[in-house]
C-alpha cells in the first residue's frame, strides 16, 4: 500500500478521530478511569504511563546513593537501563538510558529516517513523531505560505509521511505547528525522558520532563531499542524567590540566566529551577525558560511538578496524567537538601525586563540600559521589525498579553511603527486566538499572522523591507540571534526579548523605549503610558483544537512504499562511511582554521539550505560558508594547499576528497554551539574530514561528530591553538592504543619542515571508540546486528 501525498497531507488516516472528539471522549468517570490504564498520550493508545517502573528504578538508585536527590537526578536515573549496576558520577560516568519517546522536526527527521531505513529494522521501538515545521517560509501570510510550502516540499513531505507510516512514526502535517508546542500540548508529562532532534527540545521541561536535544543518529539508537548514552550531567540549581509582576515575564528569567552563565556556562549540566518563586510562573512560562536554556549550552532544563502544570494538563485534556502525577509527586520534585554543583539565585520581585543581543543571546541588558549601549556601540535605534511567537513564546498567555498592549495603543489611535509578525506555536493556539479575537486585535495593529511554523526564527523569512547588507535592528521573542540567522542579512542587529517588549518597541519604533518609564503620544497629541500587560494564563472557554493535522501510523505499515528517486535533488539514500584503516592520521591538511564563534549555523547554514536536509551531497555545498578564516579574516575563502588556489570552502574540501587528501579543522571555544543539526557533523565527514581540533565543544555537536566517525579533539593547552598555522600539516598519533581518558599526540609539521608536538584531549568512552573504528555509530549498529 503506497500512501500518496494527498492522502498524507490533505486528511488524517481514518483510524485517527478528530482531536476535539478525542477530547470529549477523554473525559471519563473516576470509576472507569481507575480501571483503565492511562496512556502516555491520547494519540498513543497502546502505551502506558511509566510511573510504576520509574518508581521501582528510583528506589534502587536512591538506596545506592543514600542522599537527597535533585529532580533532574530522579527523572534521569529512574530511566537507567540498569539501575543496579550503572556507574553514577556527575560529569564523569556515561549513563545508558531508556527514553520514553522520540520527536523529530522535518528538517532533521529526513536524515534520521534515512539512517533508520539504512539500519534495516522493521519498526521503531518507542513512540516517535515527525513534525513538519521547518520548511515553511514566511512570505505573505499563514494560509498562502502554507499552500506554497506544501507545493514546494511535496517530495519531502511525502517521504516523511510514508516513512512514518511504514516504520510506525506519527506524522504531524505541515500547518500543525512547531514541534515543541505540539509536544507540550500532547506528549510531555512530569517525569518524562524524551529526546528530540532539535536543540530546543528542552521546552518540555516546562511540564516537568527531561527533554533533551540530540542529533538524528541518537534518535536512531532509541528508535532501534538501543540504550541511549549520555554523559552524566552536573546539576545547576536556580533558586527563584519573589514573584513575577508588571512588565517582567518568564522570558526575563532565562535572559538573566543567559547573562550570568553565558552561552557555554551550562555545558554538561542540567539547569534545575526550584524555590518559592516557581509558583508565580505559568506552565507555558516555565516552558519558555526551559526552551531558551539551549542558549547556555545546557543539556536540558526542568521545573518541579506543581499546580500550574496540573492546570495545564487538565486544560489540554490530560486529567488522568495529572491525577497520576499528584500521586507520584515525591518523584517529580527535588528532595530537601539536594546537592547542586552550582547555585544561582534570582529574586523575581527585583528582576527587570531584559533584552539580549545583538549577535549572541547572552549579551544581556536591562531594558532601560539597552539604549545607552546601542548609542555607545553604534547599533541602530530604529526598530525595523518586531516578531512575536516561535517555539519559545507562542502560548495563549503570550498572545493575550501582547493583545492587551495593542488594545491600549489603539485606544489612543496608534498602530505599529515597524513590521509586526505573529507566529502561532500550533494549530490549537492559532484556532484559539482566532476564536477569542486576539488574532484580529494583533492584525488591526498592523500585524501579519504567519503559518504555524518556525518561520523567521530559523531563517525561513523572505524579508523584503531591507536590502542585504543594510544595517538595521529587529526585536524578536525568539531564542537565538546569531549573525544572519533570521533574515540571512549579516548587518541585521537582532535582539531577543519578551513578546510584550517586542510589541511595545514595535509600537514606539525604537530600541530604547522602556514602557515602564517612557510615554507615547496618541493621535490626539496627548501623552500616555502603557499599563502593565495582562492576560489569562489559559483560555476560559478551553482550547479550540482547530483542524485535524495528525496522521497516526497504521498498526502494520510493512506494505507502505517509501520511494526515494535516484534523480532526486531533495532526498538521497545514504552510503556507509569508510571504516578506520587501523593507522594514525598522517599529515592531514588544514581545510580551515576558524577564528572566533563557530556555531552550527556557521558550519551548516539553515534558511534556503533547509530544502537539502535529506540530500547529504547537495547540502554539503553549504559547509563553513560563514565561518571566519583565520588566514585572511574572510568567509568562504580558503587556499587549496596543493594547488595554492583560493576558493570556496566546500569546493576546496571536494577537491581534497577527490585527491584522497585527508583534512581537519582547527577551531575556537564552544565550537558547534547552537542548533542540534547533525548535518554540521555529517558534511565534514562526507567531504573527507577526519578530525576537528578546538579549544572546547558544545555538547550536542561533539556527540554528533563521534556518531559519524569523526575525531572531536580539544587542545590540552588552549594556547596551542596559536601554534598552528593554516599551512601546517597535522598528524594524530596513538590511535592504535586509543582509550578512554588517554590523550592523543598531535604532531604539527610547519611549512618550513620543523615539527612540534602537543597533546589533545578527548571524551570518548569504550563504546564511542568502537564507533570511530567502525566508521560511524550506524556502521557499528550493523556490525552488532551481524554478530561482529
Catalytic residues: 133-134, 198, 480, 675, 677
Cα angle 722, 671, 364 (rounded to 5 degrees) comes to 105
d(CA 9, CA 477) in angstroms, rounded, equals 30
Contact between residue 312 and residue 538 where contact means Cβ atoms under 8 Å apart:
yes
Q: Is 478 helix (H, G, I), strand (E, B) or coil?
A: coil
Q: Is 632 helix (H, G, I), strand (E, B) or coil?
A: coil
Burial of 198 (0-12, 13-18, 19+ CB in 10 A): buried
Count Cα atoms within 13 angstroms, Cβ side, for 510.
Answer: 14
d(CA 8, CA 154) in angstroms, rounded, equals 10
Q: Which three cell numbers stand for residue 208?
A: 516537568
CA-closest candidate to residue 432, choices 315, 307, 322, 532: 315
Cα angle 532, 533, 538 (rounded to 5 degrees) comes to 140
d(CA 130, CA 169) in angstroms, rounded, equals 7
- Write the DSSP string, 523-580: TTS-EE-PPPP---SS-TT-----S--EEPPPS--TT------TT-SSB----PPPPP
Contact between residue 111 and residue 198 where contact means Cβ atoms under 8 Å apart:
no
d(CA 700, CA 760) in angstroms, rounded, equals 20
Contact between residue 750 and residue 212 where contact means Cβ atoms under 8 Å apart:
no
CA-closest candidate to residue 75, choices 221, 235, 314: 235
CA-closest candidate to residue 106, choices 614, 602, 600: 614
Name residues whose C-beta falls within 8 Å of residue 67's C-beta, 6 or more positions apart in sequence. Answer: 339
Contact between residue 726 and residue 664 where contact means Cβ atoms under 8 Å apart:
no
d(CA 189, CA 212) in angstroms, rounded, equals 14
SS3 content of the chain, % helix, strand, coil (to 5): 35, 20, 45
Contact between residue 301 and residue 290 where contact means Cβ atoms under 8 Å apart:
yes
d(CA 588, CA 69) in angstroms, rounded, equals 47
For residue 241, list its beta bridge partners.
Answer: 347
d(CA 749, CA 352) in angstroms, rounded, equals 53
Q: Give the Å distances, CA to CA, from 713 to 181, 557, 716, 732.
A: 36, 42, 9, 10
What is the H or E stretch that residue 438 is in? helix 438-444
A 10 A CB-CB count for 362 gives 19
For 756-759, the CB contacts below 8 A with 24+ separation are: 756/723, 758/715, 758/716, 758/717, 758/720, 758/723, 759/716, 759/717
CA-closest candidate to residue 215, choices 111, 291, 124, 296: 111
A 10 A CB-CB count for 143 gives 11
CA-closest candidate to residue 476, choices 488, 451, 452, 458: 458
**Main-chain dihedrals φ then ψ at residue 345, nearest 5 degrees:** -120, 135
Strands 342-347 and 101-105, by their bridges, are unpaired
Count Cα atoms within 13 angstroms, Cβ side, for 769.
Answer: 15
Cα angle 252, 258, 262 (rounded to 5 degrees) comes to 165
Amino acid at each position: 500500500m503506497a500512501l500518496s501525498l494527498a492522502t498524507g497531507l490533505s486528511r488524517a488516516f481514518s483510524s485517527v478521530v478528530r482531536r476535539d472528539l478525542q477530547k470529549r471522549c477523554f473525559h471519563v468517570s473516576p470509576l472507569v478511569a481507575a480501571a483503565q490504564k492511562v496512556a502516555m498520550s491520547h494519540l498513543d493508545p497502546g502505551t502506558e504511563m511509566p510511573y510504576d517502573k520509574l518508581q521501582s528504578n528510583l528506589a534502587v538508585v536512591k538506596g545506592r546513593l543514600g542522599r537527597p536527590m535533585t529532580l533532574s537526578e530522579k527523572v534521569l536515573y529512574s530511566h537507567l537501563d540498569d539501575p543496579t549496576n550503572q556507574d553514577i558520577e556527575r560529569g564523569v560516568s556515561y549513563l545508558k538510558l531508556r527514553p520514553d519517546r522520540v520527536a523529530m522536526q522535518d528538517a532533521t527527521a529526513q536524515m534520521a529516517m534515512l539512517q533508520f531505513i539504512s539500519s534495516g529494522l522493521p519498526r521503531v521501538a518507542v513512540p516517535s513523531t515527525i513534525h513538519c515545521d521547518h520548511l515553511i517560509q514566511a512570505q505573505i501570510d499563514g494560509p498562502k505560505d502554507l499552500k506554497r510550502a506544501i507545493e514546494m516540499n511535496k517530495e519531502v513531505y511525502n517521504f516523511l509521511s510514508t516513512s512514518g507510516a511504514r516504520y510506525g512514526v506519527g506524522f504531524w502535517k505541515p500547518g500543525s505547528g512547531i514541534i515543541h508546542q505540539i509536544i507540550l500540548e500532547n506528549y510531555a508529562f512530569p517525569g518524562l525522558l524524551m529526546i528530540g532532534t532539535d536543540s530546543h527540545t528542552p521546552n518540555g521541561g516546562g511540564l516537568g520532563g527531561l527533554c533533551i536535544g540530540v542529533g538524528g543518529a541518537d534518535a536512531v539508537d532509541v528508535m532501534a531499542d538501543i540504550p541511549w548514552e549520555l554523559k552524566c550531567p552536573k546539576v545547576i540549581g536556580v533558586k527563584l524567590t519573589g514573584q513575577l509582576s508588571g512588565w517582567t515575564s518568564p522570558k526575563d528569567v532565562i535572559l538573566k540566566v543567559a547573562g550570568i552563565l553565558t552561552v557555554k556556562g551550562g555545558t554538561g549540566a542540567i539547569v534545575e529551577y526550584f524555590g518559592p518563586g516557581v509558583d508565580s510562573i505559568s506552565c507555558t512560562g516555565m516552558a519558555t525558560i526551559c526552551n531558551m536554556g539551549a542558549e547556555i549550552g545546557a543539556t536540558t532544563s526542568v521545573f518541579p511538578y506543581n499546580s500550574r502544570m496540573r492546570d495545564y494538563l487538565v486544560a489540554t485534556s490530560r486529567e488522568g496524567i495529572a491525577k497520576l502525577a499528584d500521586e507520584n509527586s515525591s518523584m517529580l520534585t527535588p528532595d530537601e537538601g539536594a546537592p547542586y554543583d552550582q547555585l544561582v539565585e534570582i529574586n523575581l520581585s527585583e528582576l527587570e525586563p531584559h533584552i539580549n543581543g545583538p549577535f549572541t543571546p547572552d549579551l544581556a541588558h536591562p531594558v532601560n540600559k539597552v539604549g545607552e549601549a546601542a548609542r555607545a556601540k553604534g547599533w541602530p535605534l530604529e526598530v525595523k521589525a518586531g516578531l512575536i511567537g516561535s517555539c519559545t513564546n507562542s502560548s495563549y498567555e503570550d498572545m493575550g498579553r501582547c493583545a492587551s498592549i495593542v488594545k491600549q495603543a489603539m485606544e489612543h489611535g496608534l498602530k505599529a511603527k515597524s513590521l509586526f509578525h505573529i507566529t502561532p506555536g500550533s494549530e490549537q493556539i492559532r484556532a484559539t486566538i482566532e476564536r477569542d479575537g486576539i488574532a484580529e486585535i494583533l492584525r488591526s495593529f498592523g500585524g501579519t499572522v504567519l503559518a504555524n511554523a518556525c518561520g523567521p526564527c530559523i531563517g525561513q523569512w523572505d524579508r523584503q523591507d531591507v536590502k542585504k547588507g543594510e544595517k538595521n535592528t529587529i526585536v524578536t521573542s525568539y531564542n537565538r540571534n546569531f549573525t544572519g540567522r533570521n533574515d540571512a542579512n549579516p548587518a541585521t542587529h537582532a535582539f531577543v526579548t519578551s513578546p510584550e517588549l517586542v510589541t511595545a518597541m514595535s509600537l514606539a519604533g525604537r530600541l530604547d523605549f522602556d514602557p515602564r518609564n517612557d510615554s507615547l503620544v496618541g493621535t490626539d497629541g496627548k501623552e500616555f503610558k502603557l499599563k502593565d500587560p495582562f492576560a489569562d494564563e489559559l483560555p476560559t472557554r478551553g482550547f479550540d483544537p482547530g483542524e485535524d493535522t495528525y496522521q497516526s501510523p497504521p498498526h502494520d505499515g510493512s506494505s507502505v512504499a517509501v520511494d526515494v528517486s535516484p534523480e532526486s535533488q531533495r532526498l538521497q539514500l545514504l552510503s556507509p562511511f569508510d571504516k578506520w584503516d587501523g593507522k594514525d592520521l598522517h599529515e592531514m591538511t588544514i581545510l580551515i582554521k576558524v577564528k572566533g564563534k563557530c556555531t552550527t549555523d556557521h558550519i551548516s547554514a539553515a534558511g534556503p539550505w533547509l530544502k537539502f536536509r535529506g540530500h547529504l551531497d547537495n547540502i554539503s555545498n553549504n559547509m563553513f560558508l560563514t565561518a571566519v578564516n583565520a588566514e585572511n579574516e574572510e568567509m568562504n575563502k580558503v587556499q587549496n594547499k596543493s594547488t595554492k588556489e583560493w576558493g570556496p570552502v566546500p569546493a576546496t574540501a571536494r577537491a581534497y576528497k577527490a585527491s584522497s587528501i585527508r583534512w581537519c579543522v582547527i577551531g575556537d571555544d564552544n565550537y558547534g554551539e547552537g542548533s542540534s543539526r547533525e548535518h554540521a557533523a555529517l558534511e565534514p565527514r562526507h567531504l573527507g574530514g577526519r578530525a576537528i581540533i578546538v579549544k572546547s565543544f558544545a555538547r550536542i555537536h561533539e556527540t554528533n561528530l563521534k556518531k559519524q566517525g569523526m575525531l572531536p579533539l580539544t587542545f590540552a593547552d588552549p594556547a596551542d591553538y596559536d601554534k598552528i598555522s593554516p599551512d601546517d600539516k597535522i598528524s594524530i598519533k596513538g590511535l592504535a592504543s586509543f582509550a578512554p581518558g588517554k590523550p592523543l599526540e598531535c604532531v604539527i609539521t610547519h611549512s618550513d619542515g620543523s615539527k612540534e608536538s602537543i597533546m589533545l584531549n578527548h571524551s570518548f568512552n569504550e563504546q564511542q571508540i568502537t564507533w570511530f573504528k567502525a566508521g560511524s555509530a550506524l556502521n557499528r549498529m550493523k556490525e552488532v546486528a551481524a554478530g561482529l
